[in-house]
Structure 1
Amino acid sequence: MQEFLGELGRRLAEKWFSLLVLPGLLFLASTAVAVIAGQQRWNDWSYLIRRSRDYAADLDKQPAVTLVLAAVGVLLAAAVVGLAAGGLAGVVQRLWLGDWPRPLHPLATRLTHRLQERWKNCDAAAQNRISLAEPDRPTWMGNSIGAVRTRVELAYDLHLAETWPLLWLIMPETSRTEVDHVRSEFNDAARLGAWGLLYLALGAVWWPAFLIGLATCLTGWRRGRTAIDGFSKLTEAAVDIYGPCLARTLGLGSGNAPLDPKTGMLITLLARKNT
C-alpha cells in the first residue's frame, strides 16, 4: 500500500508540475520580459540582459533563506497562474461549443440563424461541412455535438442526454478509453486556448506576447476541432454498436435485433423514470 501511495503521489506531482507549474513558469518569465522591456524596448535584448544581470546580482546579496522563500513563491505563483488558466479553459470550452453567456445571446442567435440559412440553401456536401444536421449553435464544434444528438434521436428516438450514462456502463473498457482519450484531448486543447488568451492580454504590455497568444489560440482551436470531430464520431458509433446491447440488458430487446425507434423511446422513458 505504501508503494502504491508513493507511486500515486509521484504521478500526481508530475502531472501537477507539467499542467500547472511548468506553463506557469513560462508565463511568469514572459511577464518578466514584458515588464522589463515594455513596448518601447520590445527588441532591445542588450537592455534586457543588462537588467537581468542587475536583478541576479541583487539576489546574490540575499541570504539563503530569502532565496528559498523566493523560489517557493515563484513556484506557488506559477501554480496559481496555472489554476487560473485551468479555470479559463472552462470558459473557452463553452465559447467553442456555442454555450455563450447571456450578453452574447443576441449575437449567438444571429450567427445561428445565418448558419441555418446557409445550411438550407446549399448542397449535401456543403451541408455536411457546416453540420451533419441542421445547426442549432453558432459554432462548428457546438453543431458537431448537436448533430450527434439530432441524428441519434431521428434514427432511434433515443435522447442521449438521458441515456448516455446507461450506455456508458455497458460499453467495454477499450471503447470507454477511446472516448475518454478524445475528451481529454479536447480539455487539453481548451487549456492551450486559455493560455493563448493570457498571452493575448500580456500583449498590452509587450506586443510580441500578442503574437504568441494568437498562435497559441489558433493551435488550441484547431486541436479542439479535431478532438470534437473524433468525440462526435465515437459517440455516434457507440450508440450504433452498443445500443442494441443496452436494449437487451434492460429487457427491451431480444436476439440480434437492431435498435429501432420504438425500443429507443422505451429506453429514453426508462432513463427518465417517466418524468
Structure 2
Amino acid sequence: MNALLSELGKSLATRWLSYLMPTGLLFLGAAGTGLVLGHARWYDLPAVADRLDAWASGPDERALGAGLAVAAGIVLLATAVGLLVRALGTVVDRIWLGTWPRGARRLATGLTERRRARWAAADQRVREAWRQHAARRALTGASDPDDRTPALRIAERDRVCLVPPGHPTWIGDRVAATDQRILATYGLDLAAAWPRLWLVCPEETRAELRTARRGYDAATQLVAWSPLYLALAVWWWPALLIAATTLVVGVRRGRAAMDTFCWLAESVVDLHGRDLATALGLSCSGPLYPETGRRVTARLRKDR
C-alpha cells in the first residue's frame, strides 16, 4: 500500500501548484490583515481597507510599473508559500503513515502500545459479547434476532483498527491492515501485484483511486496550513481559530479519504485478482484461493 500511495502521489504532484497558489494568496491576505490589526484591534476590518487606500494613493504606488511589480511579487510569494505547504504536507503524510524519524522512536512506540491496548480491550469486549450470545442461544435454543451487541462491539474494535495495531497512527494501521488482509485472504503480496493490477483494472476504477488519493493529499495540505496560521496567531489571535479549524477538518478528511482509498484498493483485488492470475497464465477458473495467490506472488516477486 505504501508503494501504491507513492506511485499515485507522483502522478498527481503536478496538479497541486494550481491549488496551492490561491490558498497562498489567501494566507498572505490573512497575514497582512493580522499585521495591520494586531491583537488589540483584531476585529477592525475597515482599518485594513483604509490602509490599502492610503498605500494605493501614494505617488509611487500609482505608477503602472510599481503596481505590476507588487502584483508579481505577491504572486511569487504566494507560490513560495504554497511550495512550503506542499513540503509540510509531505511531512504530515509521513507522520500519518507512521514512518517517523529515529529521534521520535520512543514516542512512536508509546503511541503504538497505547493503540494496541485499546484494540486488545475492544477485542476482549467482542469475545465477551459472543460468549453471552452463545450462552443465550444455548439457553433458549435459538438466537435472538434483535441482539446486535456482537456487531456493535466488532464495529467499536474496527474503529481502532481492522487488525492488531502496529503503528502509532490510525492511518498507518489502516494502510497496513489492507496489506495484511489481502495477504491472509488471497496469499497475494499487494506491493508486488499492484503495478500489474493497475494494468488489468478498467479506467473507471483507476479514476476512483485517483480521486481518493487527491482527497487524501488535499487533507495533508490542509493540515500543513495549521503551523503557518499558528505562527500568524502571535500577531493576530483569530489566526489561532483558523489553525485549529484546518487541523481538525484536515485530520477528519484525511482519515476518511484514506479509509476510502484502502477499501477501493482491496476491492480491486477482490474483483480483478483472478484476472491477474489468468493474465499471468495461471489456472484460476474459480475464486482466487490463497494457493493461487501465493503462486502469483512468487511469479511477480521473482525472488523465490
TM range (shorter): 0.7 to 0.9
RMSD over equivalenced CA pairs, Å: 1.9
User: Paired residue for 1:242?
Assistant: 272
Structure 2: tracts of 5 or more residues without a match: 1-14, 127-153
Secondary structure, aligned partner of 2:99 = coil
Contact 1:135 1:143 in 2 (8 A): yes
Contact 2:284 2:292 in 1 (8 A): no
Is contact 1:247-1:267 (8 Å) kept? Answer: yes
1:267 aligns to 2:300 (yes or no): no
Unaligned runs of 5+ in 1: 1-14
SS of alignment partner, residue 137 of structure 1: coil
Normalised to the residue count of structure 1, the TM-score between the two structures is 0.88
Measure, in 2, the Cα distance between the counterparts of 1:61 and 1:138. Answer: 53
- In structure 1, what is the Cα distance between the partners aligned to 2:58 and 2:16? 31
Give distance in 2, aligned partners of 1:49 and 1:200. Answer: 24
Q: How far did residue 103 of structure 1 move?
A: 2.1
Give the share of equivalent positions with the same residue, in percent. Answer: 41
Question: Match of 1:216?
Answer: 246
Tell me whether 50-59 or 92-101 shows the greater mean CA deviation: 50-59
> Secondary structure of the residue that 1:58 maps to in structure 2?
coil
Aligned to 1:87: 87
In 1, Cα distance between the equivalents of 2:239 and 2:214?
Answer: 27
> SS state of the match for residue 121, structure 1?
helix
Paired AA for residue 176 in structure 1: R
The CA deviation at 1:47 is 4.2
Structure number with the bigger relative contact order (C-alpha 8 A, sep ≥ 6) is 2
Tell me if the contact between 2:61 and 2:67 (Cα under 8 Å) persists in the aligned partners: no
Report matched runs for 1:141-220 at 5 Å. 141-220=171-250
The C-alpha deviation readout for 1:21-54, integer Å capped at 9, x for no partner, is 2111111111111222223332344544443332
Partners of 1:61 and 1:180 lie apart in 2 by 45
Q: What does 1:29-108 align with in structure 2 at a 5 Å threshold?
A: 29-45=29-45, 47-58=47-58, 61-108=61-108
Residue 115 of structure 1 is matched in structure 2 by 115
Q: Distance in 1 between matches of 2:36 and 2:232?
A: 13
Offset at 1:197? 2.8
> When the two structures are aligned, how many residues end up with a matched partner?
260
Change (3 A) 1:231 1:16: closer
**Cα separation, 2, equivalents of 1:93 and 1:174:** 26
Per-residue CA distance 1:118-152 (angstroms, 9 max, x = gap) = 21222233221111111111111111111111111
CA distance in 2, matches of 1:47, 1:186: 38
Moved more, 82-91 or 38-47: 38-47
Q: Distance in 2 between matches of 1:61 and 1:67?
A: 6
CA gap of 1:102–1:204, structure 2 versus 1, over 3 A, is farther
Query: In 1, are the aligned partners of 2:88 and 2:221 still within 8 Å (CA)?
Result: yes
Deviant stretches of 4+, over 4 Å: 15-18, 59-62
Moved more, 37-46 or 159-168: 37-46
| Cα pair distance change 1:232/1:59, threshold 3 Å | farther
Q: How many Å separate the matches in 2 of 1:109 and 1:95?
A: 13
Amino acid at match of 2:41: R
